[in-house]
Amino acid sequence: EKEHLHYTTLAASQGNYEACCLLGQHFLNADCGLPKSLILVKHYSEKSLEHDEKEGDPIFAYILSCALLQLGKERYEEIMEIPGHSPIPT
C-alpha cells in the first residue's frame, strides 16, 4: 500500500492524469492512510482533466464535482439554495 502510494504520487507529479485521478479518489475516500482532504481532491481532479484528450473521462469530472459540492456546502454552512433565486431562466 505504501509503495503503491509512492509510485502513484510520483506518476502524478510527472503529469500522469490517471495517477492524479487515483490520488483524488484516495483523498476523497481517505484511502491508503491518507486523510480526507477536499482541497487535494479538487487539486488532483483538476490536474487529471488537463490532459490533451478531446473528451475527458467522466469519472474524473465526477470526482471533481463531488469535491466542489462538498467544499461549497462547507463554505456556505450546508445552505445550497439562495432565497428568491431560481436557477431556471424565465
Q: What is the pTM of this model?
A: 0.71
pLDDT digits (tens, 9 = 90+) for 45-61: 888 887 766 566 787 78
- Ordered alpha helix ranges (H), 38-79: 38-48, 58-75
* Grid coordinates of 72: 461549497
Q: Are 38 and 52 in contact (CB under 8 A)?
A: no
Quick: pLDDT tens for 10-19.
999 998 888 9
| pLDDT at residue 90, rounded to an integer | 63
State the Cα–Cα distance between residues 42 and 63, nearest whole angstrom: 8
End-to-end Cα separation, the chain, in angstroms:
53
